[in-house]
């Protein structure tokens, strides 16, 4: 069904990694040149370079190639999936306007007339976090998790899985399993309020990022990016569907691909900008 998942891509990856995007190489060169200029706030790249130059007995020394790989992976692996989740979250809220109102009310009451989102305060936005969790349940970044290889023959519910077999976990189906979720197809963020279920792999009924030793290593970065971007969009603007489109006929079909994306683009109209000055 998905033959490309069963191919060893080692040689292809090694060949592709020889070429580094010019923009990344330029930024790396600039950061190395500016080292020691007394930056008040270190950027992520500056921190990595400082760690590389610090001889503190790291078990695995950090090299320039390692830094290039980390930065490239941060953008390539994180930006596409994060934008897809944000798009789905807004899509679901457009279909469920009461959820949109609650999320905006929480954000605007918390930040008031501040005029911007303070990243350090995002942890206090409980309802926004519930919205994101519910979005991840219905639209996991990768509906089918990366394949695993069975190390030894085992039997699961009458099915024999032999050693060496490839195993692909359907995270999309698990998140909609009626055995674990009431009204599984309903977008209902409240189910995650005052709930201990999290996406860090401890709850097998909810694994949008995988579980175990092979869980996605970029969870914290990805979720933080989603929280910050989504809160900005909800804080500063009110949103409406284009003329002629209603929440009932908003297209919610998923594209047929390895990642969870909408089949059609989400087009919205920012109807007004939130007035921070007069916010209470």
pLDDT tens readout for residues 157-184: 899 999 999 999 999 999 999 999 999 9
**pLDDT digits 0-9 by tens, 56-83:** 666 677 888 888 877 777 666 666 788 9
Grade residue 18 by pLDDT with cuts at 50, 70 and 90.
Answer: low
Grade residue 231 by pLDDT with cuts at 50, 70 and 90.
Answer: very high
Using a pLDDT cut of 90, give the percent of the chain over it.
48
The pair of three-digit structure tokens given for residue 279, joined into one six-digit string:
């916010």
Mean pLDDT check: name the lowest of 81-90, 128-137, 258-267: 258-267
Pick out the residues of the known binding site: 216
- Long-range contacts at 167-170 (CB < 8 A, ≥ 24 apart): 168/2, 168/5, 168/144, 169/144, 169/145, 169/207, 169/210, 170/143, 170/144, 170/145
pLDDT score, position 22: 73
pTM higher than 0.85: no
Bridge partners of residue 156, in order along the sequence: 159
CA 114 to each of CA 41, 91, 232: distance values in angstroms, whole numbers, following the listed order: 22, 27, 12
CA dist 78 and 227 (Å) reads 13
What does the CA dihedral 268, 101, 90, 193 come to, rounded to 10 degrees?
Answer: 180
Statement: residue 208 has pLDDT above 70? yes
**pLDDT digits 0-9 by tens, 235-265:** 999 999 998 889 999 999 998 777 788 999 9
Statement: residue 145 has pLDDT above 60? yes
pLDDT score, position 173: 96
DSSP state of 149: E
Using a pLDDT cut of 70, give the percent of the chain over it.
83
Q: Which DSSP helix (H) or strand (E) runs through 154?
A: strand 154-156
The pair of three-digit structure tokens given for residue 66, joined into one six-digit string:
């390692």
Mean pLDDT check: name the lowest of 81-85, 126-130, 138-142: 81-85
Pick out the residues of the known binding site for heme: 216
Please report how the helices 126-138 and 219-236 are oriented relative to each other, as an axis angle in degrees rounded to 10.
Answer: 120
Q: Are 223 and 140 in contact (CB under 8 A)?
A: no
DSSP-derived secondary structure for 232-278: HHHHHEEEEPPTT--STT---PBPSSSS--BSS----EEEEE--STT
Q: Are 136 and 205 in contact (CB under 8 A)?
A: no
Domains and CATH numbers, the chain: 1-51 (no CATH), 59-273 (1.10.630.10)
């Amino acid at each position: 069904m998905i033959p490309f998942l069963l191919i060893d891509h080692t040689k292809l990856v090694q060949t592709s990694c020889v070429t580094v995007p010019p923009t990344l190489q330029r930024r790396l060169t600039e950061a190395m040149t500016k080292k020691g200029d007394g930056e008040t706030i270190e950027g992520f790249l500056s921190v990595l370079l400082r760690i590389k130059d610090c001889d503190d007995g790291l078990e695995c020394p950090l090299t320039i190639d390692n830094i290039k790989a980390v930065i490239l992976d941060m953008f390539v692996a994180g930006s596409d999936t994060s934008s897809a989740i944000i798009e789905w979250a807004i899509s679901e809220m457009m279909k469920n306007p009461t959820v949109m109102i609650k999320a905006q009310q929480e954000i605007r009451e918390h930040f008031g007339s501040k005029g911007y989102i303070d990243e350090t305060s995002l942890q206090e936005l409980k309802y926004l976090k519930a919205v994101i969790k519910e979005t991840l349940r219905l639209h996991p970044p990768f509906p089918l998790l990366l394949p695993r290889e069975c190390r030894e023959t085992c039997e699961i519910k009458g099915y024999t899985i032999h050693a060496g077999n490839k195993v692909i976990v359907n995270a999309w189906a698990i998140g909609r399993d009626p055995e674990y979720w009431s009204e599984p197809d309903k977008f209902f963020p409240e189910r995650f309020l005052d709930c201990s279920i999290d996406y860090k792999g401890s709850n097998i009924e909810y694994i949008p990022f995988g579980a175990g030793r092979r869980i996605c290593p970029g969870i914290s970065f990805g979720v933080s990016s989603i929280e910050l971007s989504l809160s900005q969009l909800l804080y500063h603007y009110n949103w409406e569907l284009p003329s002629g489109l209603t929440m009932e006929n908003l297209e919610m079909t998923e594209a047929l691909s390895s990642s969870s994306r909408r089949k059609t683009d989400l087009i919205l109209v920012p109807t007004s900008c939130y007035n921070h000055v007069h916010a209470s």
